[in-house]
Amino acid sequence: MAVEWSGSGPELLIRIDRDGGAGLRSQLEDQLRDAIRDGRLAAGERLPSSRELARALGLSRGLVQDSYAQLQSEGYLTSRPGSATRVAAGAVAPAVSSRPGPVVRERPEIADFRHGVPDLRLAPREDWAWAIREVCRTAPNSAFDYGDPIGERRLREVLAAYLRRVRAVAATADHVVVCTGMAQGLGLVLRALAADGMDAFAFEDPGAIGPTRAAGMTAVPVPVDQDGLVVAALDRSGARAVVVTPAHQWPTGVVLTGQRRQELIAWARRRGGVIIEDDYDAEFRYDREPVGSLQGLGPDCVVSLGTVSKSLAPALRLGWLVAPERLLGALAHSKLVTDRGSPSLDQLALALLIESGRYDRHLRRSRTVYAARRETLVAAVATHAPGLRITGLAAGFHAVLHLPPGTDEARLIAEARQRGVGVYGLAPMCHSPSAEPRLVLGFGDTPQHTIEPGIAAIADLLR
């Protein structure tokens, strides 16, 4: 696709050698041909005006006009009266790439119960644009310089106050590190722990981490039951760090009970270990009392990770971690060498969004939408697949549908896709054999009017 440049005209890299033997015009024509042939100039792309190019290269305008005319006669350029000179459509050879193109994901025709994604149509675009404008209008010049690698002080203060208020976190701005989402936050923590001598970390099974090695550490699965992570199994694993989702376990949706929370904190203090709390889905709760952050119970041994990927939009790439003092030095160094810091203006915009109350208002609106979809999903299952148990509904925007024993989970998913319904199994998230077939039904990015028809279309498969 040709790039459209605004202003007086695009710049173009041309080198003219006045000490060489070649004539000035032939040099200009040859370099323009080469730029078109190798794709530096795309089909339809506008060239500088003859006046602008002559000025930039120190040539006469007549020489540039003659060069353009010659290339037009050869079919490389095209021009119309009153219009800019452009690269001719057939002059550029199609690019050959050894890399596969991006995978275009086609959504099923009837309904797609994809999980892990919020409703992107709810992204508060006007509020975000307002916050960016206000920051650009009012921020001091220093805000446009390289910022603090661990995050803008203003955002860290706002986040600390917000998390104390809504998540019962025990922290000040000095304990907060701003990062570019959950993946980077987890990576920073694991690298800091590896540098401190830890060689393994545990994760929930089923869960999203997977049996991978991160920062030279071995990942060890630990089972989850109806009360959350099984701390006794964690103790037997030998790991001294664990990643948990206590507010709404991914993907089963269970909440880590008070007793298990106390056991987990005691385990960390006894072993000199670290709990990495992914505060997943904490913003979206429905018919239960709020569950405070695990970090509030053990600020000396818990690192809490948060992000706006679900509450605002994944594209913002903004997150944070709240860490004990003993890890802050290593985390700050790791953030510095990783990317020199997250975008400062976006951080200030998020701080303003929270301070203004617009962030809370957006969350309230989103909860209302997701709660209505949840009720529609429960009613659809009750109507079209009565008797099947559906769990994990207390928070978030996904539910777990327990299928009849012996159901071929993979076959059901394939047949549903043929009928225009996208459903997804829990088996790929299990790192130990699971005898119970289950589906993870997301409703975050599933329009409400598609939920009931989607369940109805696969009712016989579910039964």
Find the mean pLDDT for residues 218-241. 94
CATH of domain 1-102: 1.10.10.10
pLDDT at 102: 56
Instruction: Report how far residue 39's alpha carbon sits from residue 44's, in angstroms, rounded to the nearest whole number.
Output: 12
Does residue 106 have a pLDDT over 80? Answer: no
* Least confident stretch, 88-92, 230-234, 310-314, 331-335: 88-92
Q: Give the confidence band of 97 by pLDDT, cuts at 50, 70, 90.
A: low
Please name the residues in contact with 42: beta carbons below 8 A apart, sequence gap of 6 or more. Answer: 1, 2, 3, 87, 92
Domain with CATH 3.90.1150.10 in the chain: 111-119+366-462
Write the Ramachandran bin of 238: left for phi over 0, alpha for psi from -120 to 50, otherwise beta. Answer: left
Domain with CATH 3.40.640.10 in the chain: 124-360
pLDDT at 280: 76
Instruction: Report how far residue 436's alpha carbon sits from residue 253's, in angstroms, rounded to the nearest whole number.
Output: 16
Q: Which two tokens stand for residue 326?
A: 């003993």
Chain-centroid distance, C-alpha 88: 39
Q: % helix / strand / coil in the chain, to the nearest 5?
A: 45, 15, 45
Type of residue found at 296: G
Instruction: Report how far residue 246's alpha carbon sits from residue 288's, in angstroms, rounded to the nearest whole number.
Output: 14
Contact 234, 222 (CB under 8 A): yes
- Give the residue among 270, 198, 194 at the shortest CA–CA distance from 232: 270
Does residue 169 have a pLDDT over 50? Answer: yes
Contact 387, 429 (CB under 8 A): no
Q: Which residue has the higher pLDDT, 81 or 236?
A: 236
Does residue 3 have a pLDDT over 50? Answer: no
* Least confident stretch, 101-115, 154-168, 438-452: 101-115
Instruction: Report how far residue 148's alpha carbon sits from residue 458's, in angstroms, rounded to the nearest whole number.
Output: 53
For residue range 43-91, what is the model confidence (pLDDT) as tens digits?
888 888 888 888 888 899 999 999 999 989 888 999 888 788 889 987 7
Find the mean pLDDT for residues 130-146. 95
pLDDT at 353: 97
pTM given for the model:
0.83
Does residue 178 have a pLDDT over 80? Answer: yes
Domain 124-360 has CATH 2.40.160.20: no
The three-state secondary structure class of 242 is: strand
pLDDT at 98: 56
Contact 331, 321 (CB under 8 A): yes
Fold entry, domain 111-119+366-462: Aspartate Aminotransferase, domain 1 (3.90.1150)
Q: Give the confidence band of 213 by pLDDT, cuts at 50, 70, 90.
A: very low
Find the mean pLDDT for residues 407-423. 95
Does residue 171 have a pLDDT over 80? Answer: yes
Q: Which two tokens stand for residue 401?
A: 């549908």
The three-state secondary structure class of 272 is: coil
Q: Would you tell me how many other CB atoms lie within 10 Å of the CB of residue 58?
A: 9
Residue with tokens 């990495």: 276
Domain with CATH 1.10.10.10 in the chain: 1-102
- φ, ψ (nearest 5 deg) of residue 234: -60, -45
Give, rounded to a whole angstrom, the gap between the first and last alpha carbons of the chain.
Answer: 50
Q: Give the confidence band of 2 by pLDDT, cuts at 50, 70, 90.
A: very low
Instruction: Report how far residue 322's alpha carbon sits from residue 188's, in angstroms, rounded to the nearest whole number.
Output: 12
For the four alpha carbons of 389, 392, 393 and 396, in that order, the dihedral sign comes to negative
- φ, ψ (nearest 5 deg) of residue 319: -150, -175
For residue range 341-384, what is the model confidence (pLDDT) as tens digits?
999 999 999 999 999 999 999 999 999 999 999 999 999 999 99
Find the mean pLDDT for residues 111-136. 95
Average model confidence (pLDDT) across the chain: 89
Find the mean pLDDT for residues 319-334. 95
Q: What is the DSSP string of 300-337?
A: TTEEEEEESTTTT-GGG--EEEE--HHHHHHHHHHHHH
Percentage of the chain surpassing pLDDT 90?
66
Does residue 194 have a pLDDT over 80? Answer: yes
* Least confident stretch, 205-214, 246-255, 434-443: 205-214
